[in-house]
Amino acid sequence: MKNDNLLEMSVTDFVEATAAKTPTPGGGSVAGVVGALGVALGRMALNFTLGKKKYAEHEEFHEHLARRLETAGAMFESLVADDVAAYRLYQAAMKKPDDAPDKASAVQLATAAAIDVPREVTKLALAVLEDLKALGPTSNPYLITDLLAAGVLAVAAAKLSDYNVRINVPYVKDTKAAAEIKQASANDLTKAQALLANIESAAKDLLP
């Protein structure tokens, strides 16, 4: 099956495509899907809260979060396709003859794309975690495990993305820029983990 429309596959087909001996979908694509699933769980927790009299005073805030999470889900889905496109750019660059005058610049461009996509996934995961943290205290307590699962998946997306950044930064020609990118990615992962810890701490009284 072609990889052009990963999100149109059934779950079974996506799993099989990921397991297949093909470079895509790989870790980057999976990170985007994991992020999208995390958002979906957050949206579910919110949907079971919206419209309840108990949370009427938070309705405007919840509607705002609903729009943000819907947008975030669509962005994660777009990043799945972006990851595939980035890998194809890398393939094209590596197929150029070693003596091609533009090979070095093509490889740097492909490397930048391979780093930019996971960095965007992480930034989006952080935004989602902030929204989940804000939602927690005013959400339906019966959906708390789904909200926590949403946070875990958002952190997983960030961690997968950090791996992808770290594997690609050695190929960045500017070593100072490479070190800064690697450190920024590590810092963002630490932020993501701290946000999840905060969400878990706020929910501890709701778990047996």
41 domain residue, yes or no = yes
104 domain residue, yes or no = yes
The answer for residues whose C-beta is within 8 angstroms of residue 159's C-beta and 6 or more apart is: 189, 192
Given a cut of 50, is residue 3 above it in pLDDT?
no
CATH value at residue 151: 1.20.120.680
- Report which of 192, 189, 127, 126 is spatially closest to residue 162, judged by C-alpha positions: 189
CB-based contact 76:107 (threshold 8 Å) = no
Q: Dmax over Cα atoms in the chain, in whole Å?
A: 69
2 domain residue, yes or no = no
| DSSP state letters, 27-77 | HHHHHHHHHHHHHHHHHHHHHTTTT-GGGGGGHHHHHHHHHHHHHHHHHHH
Q: What total of structural domains would you count in the chain?
A: 1
C-alpha to C-alpha distance for 40 and 31, rounded to whole angstroms: 14
- Structural domain including 179 reads 23-206
9 domain residue, yes or no = no
Q: Is pTM, for the whole model, over 0.85?
A: yes
- Report which of 17, 44, 41 is spatially closest to residue 29, judged by C-alpha positions: 17
Residue whose token pair is 């959906």: 143
Q: Name the band, by pLDDT with cuts 50, 70 and 90, for residue 4.
A: low
Dump pLDDT digits (tens) for 130-177: 999 999 999 999 999 999 999 999 999 999 999 999 999 999 999 999
